[in-house]
Structure 1
Amino acid sequence: MDKRAAIAIGMGAGALWAVAVVWGAQKAGLAFMTPLVGVPLAFAPVGLVMALMIGRLAQRRFFDDAIIDGDDFTPGSPPWVDQRVLSNTAEQALLALLIWPFVALTMGGQVAVVLGLAFALARLAFWIGYHLAPPLRAFGFAATFYTTVLAGVWSLAIWL
């Protein structure tokens, strides 16, 4: 199987994940949670995963004389990968910050909390996949992006 096909499979799995998360969060019978409570709780796992990423980069810098002074990472090196993962995670978190409050308002804060937990798991898959396997990286990216977008579109459909 070529790389493009493997990545397409990862993206397809991410799309299935998105449907399972958004649909499952609504059908799970979770207790209603107001958006005022749910949205901050939803972003806690996001922040914790980002803290892990930042901590890992700091650890890499501290123990590597070539980058301890803040020099650029060598393209393709493990710290370079970690920096790219952190940058993409910040972009995905910003997208979530713009969409999840509307989702919580429309579907309930409990759905936003599920989105936050799913985001954290998908970002960990993206991070590990970026280091080990393109299909897992594709899954992690798609599982984060598609879930946020699907939740936003689903909320808009409910709203209208």
Structure 2
Amino acid sequence: MQKRPRILIGMAAGLVWAVAVLWIGRQIPVPMAMMQPTLMGAAFGPGVVLALMIGRLAQRRFFVDDTIDGQPLTGGAAIDAKVLQNTVEQVVLALCIWPLVGFFLGAGTVLALGIGFAVARVAFWVGYHVAPPLRAFGFAATFYPTVLAALWVLWRLTVG
């Protein structure tokens, strides 16, 4: 099978995931008074995954003589560095968007976004190591929920 069809399947599955995460999040009854702790809790899962990625990359550098002094990464370490960079980008995006999502779509939505993010990032990480086209699901399943939630907020702001 060619790469593009596999990537498209992963992207489509990520879109289904995004809709499911947002739908499930809207069903979670979290009082608005719990918004701040919920936002902090939602960021915890992505933070743990980020810490695991940073730790794994540090471990790879420490035990490989060719990279211990900061030389360019190769093999699995290079993949881990790419995954880490993309994850940092996704975390920054989420932290910019999720607070307003929580206000307009409810704290439960943000909680679901955080849990879904952590799971999807692990799928991205594993998929990248197994076969690069398989990372499409993990990428889409992380990116699409945040973007769809932002679009939903924009719609609520303009339509009411």
Match of 1:8 in 2: 8
Aligned to 2:131, which of 124, 130, 133? 133
State the 4+ residue runs in structure 1 displaced beyond 2 angstroms.
Answer: 29-35, 133-136, 155-160
Match of 1:152 in 2: 150
**Structure-2 separation of matches of 1:36 and 1:81:** 35
Amino acid at match of 1:3: K
TM-score by length of 2: 0.93
Alignment of 1:1-150 (within 5 A): 1-27=1-27, 29-33=28-32, 34-74=34-74, 77-150=75-148
**Structure-2 separation of matches of 1:131 and 1:82:** 8
Q: Count residues with an aligned counterpart.
A: 157
How far off its partner does 1:134 sit?
A: 3.3
Q: Taking every aligned residue pair, what percent have the same amino acid on both sides?
A: 54
Q: Which has the higher helix share?
A: 2
Preserved CA contact (<8 Å) 2:101 2:150: yes
Amino acid at match of 2:8: A
TM-score by length of 1: 0.93
Amino acid at match of 1:8: L
Preserved CA contact (<8 Å) 1:9 1:135: no
**Structure-1 separation of matches of 2:135 and 2:142:** 11
How far off its partner does 1:38 sit?
A: 1.4
Preserved CA contact (<8 Å) 1:38 1:108: no
How far off its partner does 1:15 sit?
A: 0.5
Runs (5+) with no aligned partner, structure 2: none
**Structure-2 separation of matches of 1:138 and 1:48:** 22
Runs (5+) with no aligned partner, structure 1: none
Give CA deviations for 1:4-29 in whole Å, capped at 9, x if unaligned: 001100000000000010112113x4
**Structure-2 separation of matches of 1:118 and 1:32:** 20
Amino acid at match of 1:140: G
How far off its partner does 1:135 sit?
A: 4.1
Superposition CA RMSD, Å: 1.3
**Structure-1 separation of matches of 2:70 and 2:11:** 34
Preserved CA contact (<8 Å) 1:8 1:135: no
Amino acid at match of 1:90: V
